[in-house]
Chain A
Amino acid sequence: MSHAPAVTAIDPEVRDWPASRRVEVDEALSHYPNRRSAVLPLMWIAQREWGWLSPPVLRLVARTAELPEPEVFGIATFYTMFNLRPVGRHHLQVCMTISCSLMGADRLFRHLERKLGIGHGETTPDGRFTLRRVECLAACGRGPCMQVNFDYHENLDEARVDALLETLT
């Protein structure tokens, strides 16, 4: 598996939350009796802000949640939806679990690979798309399904995917 090029520049010196995220961070912390419980919401805020969870960002989350840094790193790797590498503007996540698979998810995925010139976990050089196989998206009645960032696109075939990609600039 080749490493995707860094498409989201991240300040390696990132030390604190931007002022624009302060309200969200405080809101997340306010939901729990102790700070460590807010670690997942904090990671989501961080991913919204920076696109992926770089080591400096994870250190910031650890400081904010008052957790040991290695533990935060472990948590980030435990879940699949945290990006530990930069991703493109449009994160294409193709469901490969049984219903979608029966409805042609594999064919669809190969089509995307050919069309975009990238494989699983890779990002196009222009930083537009990242392609990834994922497990069940819970859209089994409308497969094949692909999640693009946080939007579901269902009952897909090659033509529909091509049309969809046109709209994703």
Chain B
Amino acid sequence: MSATCKVTIDGHTIEVPAGTLLTDAARAADVHVPIFCSHQKLPPLGACRICVVEVGLPRRGPDGKPALDSAGTPVVTWMPKPQTACTTYVADGMQVRTTSPEAVTARKGVMEFLLVNHPLDCPVCDEGGECQLQDLAFAFGADFSRMDEAKRTFVSEDLGPVVKKEANRCIVCMRCVRYCDEIMGDDALTAHQRGVRTEISSFDRQPLDCEQCGNCIEVCPVGALTALPYRFKARPWDLRQHITVCPYCANGCSVRLGVRGMEILRARGTEHRGVNQEYLCVRGRFGYEFVNDAERLSSPLVRSGGSLTPTGFDAAVDFAAARLREVAAAHGPGAVAFLGGEKLNLEEAYLYQKLARAVLGTNHVDARTRFTARLPGEAVLRATGGGRPLLSLEDLGHAEEVLVLGDDLQGESPFAQAVLVRGQHQAGLHLTIAHPRRVKLARPKFRGEWLAYRPGSEAALLNGLVRAALERGTPDGLPSDVAAGLPALRQAVAEWTPARTEQATGVPARAIEAAAARLAQARRRAILFGRAFTEHPAAADLLRGIESLGWASGALSAARSEVMYIGPQHDSQGALDMGLVPDLLPGYVPVGDAAGRKPFEQQWAATLPAEPGLSAPEILRAAAEGRIRALWIVGDEWLRSAPDRALAEQALAACDLVVVSELFLTETARRAHVVFPVCSFAEKEGVVVNCERRLQRAARAIAPKRGTRPDWEVFQAVARALGVRWSFRTAEDVFREIARLVPGYRGRSWATLVPLGPQWALEAPAAATLGAAREGAPPAGEGLWLLSGGTLFLQGSLSHRGRLLPKLAKAARARLHPAEARRLGVAEGDAVELAGPAGTLRLPAALDVEVPEGSVFVPYAHAEVELNRLGAPAGAGLKVVVRPARVAERVGA
């Protein structure tokens, strides 16, 4: 069979790859074939029949060659009945008619059947105006009905707080059921009854037990499933639609905001654009509420006489600049530090560090405020292949083996999880989930293996995997520095036999060997890691371990990288790239590298400090001890994110100047001397970089809320007040400077980033650093290991502002294994007290067999959970004493 087929559709002949479906071939030929049940991410089904077309194949003679008529043209044998284009694969020489009388009559007949029971209640249907059934009824339907029987009717249902179901409108295309199963892995929806009585619903019509993503609503081609939060809010033609990038996780999904006036009324997927197309998770779809919040700051605030007073922008800028100048003059530039910035756009991140380095002369810049230990800025770059071309999120789904290290993708990276679930259903993807807790992807319904390592044994696990992978031989395609370093690596991990690794981690030796073998043998593979490892006290060691595993298993090679870092915020990668770390300039140029510094010094007309600055946890300590006197904190509720709450309180109290750029008067902002109100993601434009290192231009959907400015304007105003001549008129101007100066970004322009930008790579990848990971010392003291992780419904303080997300998240619970709870004398719902080295936290308990014994799991994203009050983790983690709250009270009294 040839690799391509020539197909003629309505007279247009095109060549498409063999194995293409007729619906896709028609789209390529620019011929419209209507569809309902067919979906780009689901296998062919042929449920609705609306895509019927006439199909013919060339007749072949006895010699196997196409038979020719007297005029010398091939004779076509037409199939006796119309065929569904969505289930028919192309064949060479295939002829297709979509507008012949037979095709049109057949389609009209299908339409008539689809409308037999449809209520045609378009005026009160939220789908009206963007309904495929409405459009196709207009295009293909008859203008009268021959039916005079009563329509079958169903009762409308709320399937939980997100999904409204009007089954009368349903055409039983099964998209929602299949999407929920094959992409979300939730199986929450099903078809009840059969035939004309078929109705989509949940188990026993209960509220949906699922991720509440609303993708069933998104893929519903009619108004059978609509979004309760958007119900009767608007008509689609009254909305301006703007496609921008979701401000939550690092996947960087495109999101289509529906805006009326100044208000965002809904968020949807984008059908055929972005990394995600139609997909959005619950945060992406319903997490925009904070933008409209009435409590948004609308005026700069300056502290005078002990309280924050609204003031003009220029006055606030002058105040901040004067104080910064005073602190720098009195204590040196090293007394000023800049924190936060993972939620800034690329251009803003660039200007933020430029303000720190070029204007104030300090390298105390760090976006990674949650980190508990210093992590070299290059560690993540090296662990992901030193800047070599990186696999994409789409590639993840085609991998044969995917290893997820320590992250619960459901909370940290929902779209990547959906890609993996789809890969399980539609390709041969096998999962290895290394996580102490049985997270969603580690459940038995997914094909894979769960490496349930003991908390604190991350280094041992990595070393064991590296050794087992090296036992399989030396991977091909290694760059020379790695090949030269392999013998030393072999030596360094020699002691980590599977048996020893089992002893240290609790993961069976067999499972470690098998996981390493699968990784090494797979033709396409991926290793994913995120904050569970980067925010670990031993992060520097663990990242070297991940890098070693990448090279040992073949996931890294001279040509490409299959190791992906999933940062905690939507622009974590951009912040790293732009040098919001204490030891690197933008583009991973070490601050100590005089030659690398030179272009920046020329462009910025400044002498840059050559000493690496303090990292975020070091800044925290230095500020609390009075060595740092001025702090700028941008887009970060530092009192929640800093690893030690008590230290952060001390630091804020001790500083002579605290500047906060924020949307809301957060707890941290309340302690500031100057607060700048800034724009939300929807109100500004700029580039963001997702976990694939893909550059995407985020568009402005609404005008800035009164009194707010994009962050970069604030940085520029303060820089100018400090005497430098920055003159950027737009964020694009800033990007032009980045494109002139920054390795990996050179030569790029905004125009090339739409609709989907490229994934950047470095021309000269960073050198590798191989080695075994050292084991962190077990934390001192008695008690249970504190495990934490993201939750699907909340991420950061902005998500606390809405109504829906906190409602879906419910109250936080301290989750304990039932056996552990029994030992502690705790029942479901009992209040428990967690006592760490620095403080306590009180929460209701929940019994959960997915949490390992000897540990307690507390999600960190809930507003009421402030884990940093317990004290900072050290060594390999943190232990807390858990006891029933009533006992704690008695003891306390």
Contact = CB atoms under 8 A, between A and B. Distances in A.
A70 B193 contact: no
Interface in B184-204: 187-194, 202-204
Contacts of A73: 190, 192, 202-204
A77 interface: yes
Interface string B150-193: 00000000000000000000000000000001000001111111
A78 B203 contact: no
Interface string A119-144: 00000000000000000000000000
Contacts of A70: 187-190, 202-203
A84 B580 CA distance: 61
A69 B194 CA distance: 18
Nearest to A54: B204
A93 to B, nearest CB: 18
Contacts, number: 37
A117 interface: no
Contacts of B444: 66
Contacts of A71: 187, 190
Interface string A56-77: 0011000000101111111001
Nearest to A62: B203
Contacts of B203: 55, 58-59, 69-70, 72-73
A89 B315 CA distance: 85
Contacts of A78: 191-194
A73 B203 CA distance: 6
Given A73-B192, A78-B193, A55 B187 contact: no
A77 B187 contact: no
A69 B445 CA distance: 13
A70 B202 CA distance: 6
Most buried by B among A55, A58, A59, A74: A74
Q: How large is the interface on A (under 10, 10 to 19, 20 to 34, 35 or more residues)?
A: 10 to 19
Interface in A18-58: 55, 58
A74 B191 contact: yes
Interface in A82-121: none
Contacts of A59: 203
A73 B190 CA distance: 8
Nearest to B197: A77
Nearest to B199: A77
A62 to B, nearest CB: 8
Contacts of B194: 77-78
Contacts of B445: 66, 68
B190 A55 contact: no
Contacts of A68: 181, 187, 190, 445
Given A68-B187, A71-B187, A77 B192 contact: yes
A55 B444 CA distance: 23
Contacts of B204: 55, 58, 73
Nearest to B180: A70
Interface in B639-675: none
Nearest to B208: A70
Contacts of B190: 68, 70-71, 73-74
A59 B204 CA distance: 10
Nearest to A55: B204
B188 A77 contact: no
A71 B444 CA distance: 17
Nearest to B206: A55
A59 to B, nearest CB: 8
B443 to A, nearest CB: 11
Nearest to A68: B187
A78 B192 CA distance: 6
Contacts of A58: 203-204
A58 B192 CA distance: 14
A107 B193 CA distance: 29
A74 B187 contact: no
A78 B445 CA distance: 24
Nearest to A67: B187
Nearest to B204: A55
A1 to B, nearest CB: 13
A72 B204 CA distance: 10
A58 B203 CA distance: 9
Scoring B189, B202, B204 by chain A CB atoms within 10 A of each residue's CB, the highest score goes to: B204
Nearest to A74: B190
Interface string B441-453: 0001100000000
A72 B190 CA distance: 9
A66 B181 CA distance: 15
Quick one: which of A66, A69, A70, A73 has the most chain B CB within 10 A? A70
A77 B203 CA distance: 11
A72 B191 CA distance: 10
A156 to B, nearest CB: 29
Contacts of A74: 190-192
A71 B177 CA distance: 10
Contacts of B202: 70, 73
25 contacts: A55-B203, A55-B204, A58-B203, A58-B204, A66-B444, A68-B187, A68-B190, A69-B187, A69-B203, A70-B187, A70-B188, A70-B189, A70-B202, A71-B190, A72-B203, A73-B190, A73-B192, A73-B203, A73-B204, A74-B190, A74-B192, A77-B193, A77-B194, A78-B191, A78-B193
Interface of B: 181, 187-194, 202-204, 444-445
Given A68-B445, A78-B192, 18 more contacts: A55-B203, A58-B203, A58-B204, A66-B445, A68-B181, A68-B187, A69-B187, A70-B202, A70-B203, A71-B190, A72-B203, A73-B190, A73-B192, A73-B203, A73-B204, A74-B192, A78-B191, A78-B194
Give 8 closest A-B pairs by Cβ, nearest first. Answer: A68-B187, A74-B190, A70-B190, A70-B203, A77-B192, A55-B204, A69-B203, A73-B203
